[in-house]
A and B are shown apart, each in its own frame.
Chain A
Amino acid sequence: MNADKRRFGIVLSAFICVYLRLLSFGLAAQEIRYEASHVSMGSEYQIVVYGPNRAVLAEACEQAFAEIDRLDDLLSNYKPQSELSRVNATAAKGPVKVTPEFFDFLRVSDEFRRQTFGAFDITLGRGRLSLDTRNSTVEFTTPEVKLDPGGIGKGLAVDHAIDILKAAGIKRALVSAGMSTINAIGTPPGEDQGWKITIRSPKSKDIAAATVYLKDNSLSTSATYEKGRHIIDPRTKKPPENGVEAVSSMAITGTESDAITKCFFVLGRQGASAFLRAHPSDRALVCDPECSWVK
C-alpha cells in the first residue's frame, strides 16, 4: 500500500516535472520582440526589448522614454528652465546649489576632462568648474564658461534608459539615440555573439565601415558628415586638424563611449591609441579618412 503510494507520488511528480518543462518551454517559445521610438533631445530614440509579457515590455519602454525626457529637462541648453541653463546663467556670479544628480553629472564630466587631459571638456575649454562636494555647489572660475551637454548628454540618457529596462527585469534590449549612441543588454535570442551593429562609412550611409557586436556594452559615433566640423578642440577652441572624419568607440557605458568618442575626434588616432592603452576594455574605430581600429 505504502509502496504503491510512493510509486504514485513518483509518477505524479515526474508528470508535474514534464508538465512544468513543457509549460516553460511553451512560454519561452512565446517570447515577444517589442520595438518603440520616441523623439527627445532632437534625436529619435529607439528601444527594442525581448520578453514574455507585452505589457511589461511596453511599460518599461514608456518609463525609459519618460526618463530620457526628464534628463532633457535637466540638461538641455535650449530649455531656459533646465537646471543646466540655470547654472549657466548664474554660476559665474558665485556658487550655485544644484541637485545631487546634477552635481554627479558635473563630477563625472570633470573626471573625464582630467582623464583626457582636457580633450574632453564640458566647458569647451572656456574655464574651470569649482565643485564643492560638501555643499553640492558649482561655481565657474571665469565668466566665459558655459556648460555644453552635447558631449555626453545622449550617452547618459541611453545609460539611464538601460538602467530602467534592467530594473524591469529585461534581459535582452537595445537602446539607440538616433544611431549615435547605442547600448545593449544581453543578446537577441539565438544570436549569442550579441547585437550586430554596422557602422556606416563617412563616405555614404549605405556603405559599411565595420561591423561590431554589442553585448552589455555601448557604441558611440561622431562624424563630420551630418553636421560638418562641429566638434571643437577645447584646448585650441578650433576644429581639430588631424584629418579625422568619423570616430566610433566602444565602452561599457554610453556616457563613457560618448565622451571618449568626442575626445578621440580631438586627439586623433595617436592620442586615441595612447588613451586606449590605459583603458584596455575600450575600443575605437577612427576614420582619418580611412577607417580602421586603433591599435
Chain B
Amino acid sequence: MSNAISRREFNKRAAAVAAAFGLSNFDIPELFPTVHAASEPVKWAMIGTGTRALDLLRPLSTNTGGQCVALCDIYPPNLERAAKTIGGSPTHYDDYRKVLERKDVEAVMIVTPLDRHAFMTLDALSAGKHVFCEKTMVFKEQEIAALREAVAAHPKQVFQVGLQRRYSEIYHMGMQMIRRGALGRVTHCYAHWNRNSDWRRPVADAKLERLINWRMYKEYSGGLMAELGSHQMDIAGWAFQADPRSVIGTGGIDYWKDGREVYDNVSVIFEYPEGQKAVFTSMLNNQHYEFGEHLCGDGGTMELTLAGPSGTGTFWVEPKAKATAAAGKAKEQWWAGATVSASATQKGMPIFPDEIGEDMPFMDRERAFGRRWLAQRGWYEVTEPKNPVGTQFEHFFMCIREGKHPLSDINVGASDAEAVVYANQAMDENRRVFWPKYRDQKG
C-alpha cells in the first residue's frame, strides 16, 4: 500500500481545509484503508475487460490490497489487452459463470455493457461474491428492485457501485462545506457533460457492431443519461441529500443521424422535494465546456469537476445582503486598510485537500503556502492528490477485509439508476415522470 495515506493523515488534511474556511471538525468518511500489513490480499476477478476495464486495471495493478486471479471477456482481443495491463497470471475465461464457480474468487468487478450489470450482479451475489459493479448500476425499474432485494439478502457481501466521485477528496470537501453552510441554502445543480465525437468505436467486422457499439442501442444502453449523466445526478443527490420528485426532459438524434437509437443530445431538469432543481445537459458536437457540476446556493457557488488530469474544486462567495434587527446588535466594527483586490474572490477560492501542518518540514510548508498563494490568484489549480478511480478499490478491499459498508452502496446506486431510468422515460414518452412515492399526489 505504498501510495495509500492513512486515515489519520487524511483527517488532518481535512482539518487544514476546514481551518482555511473557518470551519471545524470536518468528518470525512473513511476513504482509505487502515494498513494491515499482515492481511491477505483479496482475490478478485474482472468480468468485462473492455475500455473502462483498462482504466481500472492500471491502478489495480499496483494495489496490493487485492490480487487478480481471473479475467473474463467474450471478445478475445480485449481480454489479451487487459491481461497485459494487470500483469501476473490470472486465468482467462469467456463465460462469467465459470468465474463465479471458482471458490477462491472472493470478489468480482463487473465492467460489462449496461444490460449485463443486473444478471451478472445477481448471479455473483448468489455465488457468495463481493461485487463491484460499474455505473450505471442498472437501467430498468424492475432491475433496481431485484438488486435491492438481492443485496439485502446477502448482508455480509460488499456491494459497491463504480461512482468514483464518492471517493474523491475534493468532492468530499465540497459536500462537507455544503453541510456546514458554505453555500447557504443550495437550490440548483447545473451539470453538463459534452463531447465532440460521434461516440462510436471502430468495428473491424460488422458482426461485432452491436457488441462494440452497444452504447448506440437501447437494448443495451441508457444513452447519454446513463453513460455520463449518472455520475452527475449522483452529485446532485449527494448535495441535496434527497431523491428527486420528478423529471422532465427532451432529447433527440439531431446531429449524428447514423442509425443510432439513443439520443445524441439530452436536456433534462430534475425537481427535488424542496423545489431544488438539477439540470443536466449533454451534447456530442461541442466539447468547449467539457464536464463538471456547479452547485448554487444563496450563500455561494461551488464548481466541482474531475475534468483535467485529476479534477478541481472552486468556491465563490455569493454577495449576500443581510437584514437584521438593529436592536441588540453588536457594535459596528470596521477595518480600514489598502484595498485588497477583489479579483481573487472573483476568480474563486480553490478547495484545498492540502495540509499545512505544524510538524511539516520547513520547505514542504513553504511550498504548500506558496501553492495556496498561487492558487488564490488563479495561477495554479488545486487538484486531487489521488485518482479516485484507484481509491475506490482501496476502499472496496478495505470494506471486504474489515466488514465495512461502502460509500457508493446499493442505495446510492439505486437512487442514481432511478434518475437515469425516469429521465429516459420522460424524454422517450415526452411527459413529466414522478418518482414512485409521489405518483399518487402529483401536481
Contact = CB atoms under 8 A, between A and B. Distances in A.
A39 B319 contact: yes
A200 B326 contact: no
Quick one: which of B320, B325, B327, B346 has the most chain A CB within 10 A?
B327
A241 interface: no
Nearest to B326: A31
Interface in A189-215: 189, 191, 195-200, 205
A284 B383 CA distance: 46
B334 interface: yes
Interface stretch (B113-121, B181-189, B336-344, B421-429): B336-344
A38 B319 contact: yes
A36 B319 contact: yes
A84 B399 CA distance: 65
Given A31-B327, A39-B345, A174-B332, A180 B319 contact: no
B259 to A, nearest CB: 51
A33 B339 contact: no
Interface stretch (A102-110, A136-144, A223-231): A223-231
Contacts of A222: 338
B334 A195 contact: yes
A205 to B, nearest CB: 7
Given A32-B325, A33-B325, A33-B326, A197 B340 contact: no
Quick one: which of B331, B335, B338 has the most chain A CB within 10 A?
B338
A248 B326 contact: no
B333 A198 contact: yes
Contacts of A266: none
Given A34-B321, A58-B321, A198 B334 contact: yes
B323 interface: yes
Contacts of A54: 323
B336 A199 contact: yes
A50 B334 contact: no
A44 interface: yes
Nearest to A30: B325
A44 B345 contact: yes
A32 B341 CA distance: 30
Given A32-B324, A33-B325, A48 B332 contact: yes
Contact of A188 (B319, B322, B332, B340): B332
B336 A177 contact: no
Given A43-B339, A178-B339, A223-B337, A188 B325 contact: no
Contacts of A191: 331-332
A285 to B, nearest CB: 10
B437 interface: no
Given A44-B345, A57-B323, A198 B339 contact: no
Contact of B337 (A29, A33, A61, A221): A221
B336 A35 contact: no
B329 interface: yes
A226 B342 CA distance: 12
Given A29-B327, A35-B322, A57-B323, A178 B340 contact: yes
A198 B326 contact: no
Nearest to B346: A39
A251 B208 CA distance: 82
Contact of A154 (B321, B339, B346): B339
A226 B327 contact: no
B336 A200 contact: yes
A179 B335 contact: yes
A176 to B, nearest CB: 7
Interface in A8-51: 29-39, 42-44, 48, 50
B341 A43 contact: yes
A227 B327 contact: no
Nearest to B319: A37
B341 A42 contact: yes
Interface in A42-82: 42-44, 48, 50, 54, 57-58, 61
Nearest to A187: B332
Contact of B336 (A50, A57, A182, A227): A182
Contact of A182 (B321, B334, B343): B334
A182 B336 CA distance: 8
Interface in B297-338: 319-327, 329, 331-338
Quick one: which of A37, A154, A219 has the most chain B CB within 10 A?
A37
B326 A180 contact: no
A263 interface: no
A87 interface: no
A246 interface: yes
B339 A226 contact: yes
A53 B361 CA distance: 56
Contacts of B332: 48, 174, 188, 191, 195-196
A50 to B, nearest CB: 6
Contacts of A178: 339-342
B260 to A, nearest CB: 46
Given A58-B321, A198-B335, A226 B340 contact: yes
A262 B51 CA distance: 64
Contacts of B345: 39, 44
Interface in A215-273: 219, 221-227, 246, 248
Contacts of A205: 335, 337
A43 B346 CA distance: 10
Contact of A200 (B320, B331, B335, B343): B335
Nearest to B317: A37
B319 to A, nearest CB: 5
Nearest to A57: B323
B52 to A, nearest CB: 43
A42 B342 contact: yes
A43 B324 CA distance: 25
Nearest to B321: A36
Nearest to A212: B336
9 contacts: A31-B327, A32-B324, A34-B322, A176-B334, A178-B339, A179-B337, A189-B326, A198-B334, A200-B336
Given A174-B334, A180-B336, 7 more contacts: A36-B320, A39-B342, A180-B337, A197-B334, A223-B337, A223-B338, A226-B339
- List 8 A-B pairs, minimum CB-CB distance, nearest first: A36-B321, A223-B338, A180-B339, A31-B326, A178-B339, A200-B337, A226-B338, A188-B332
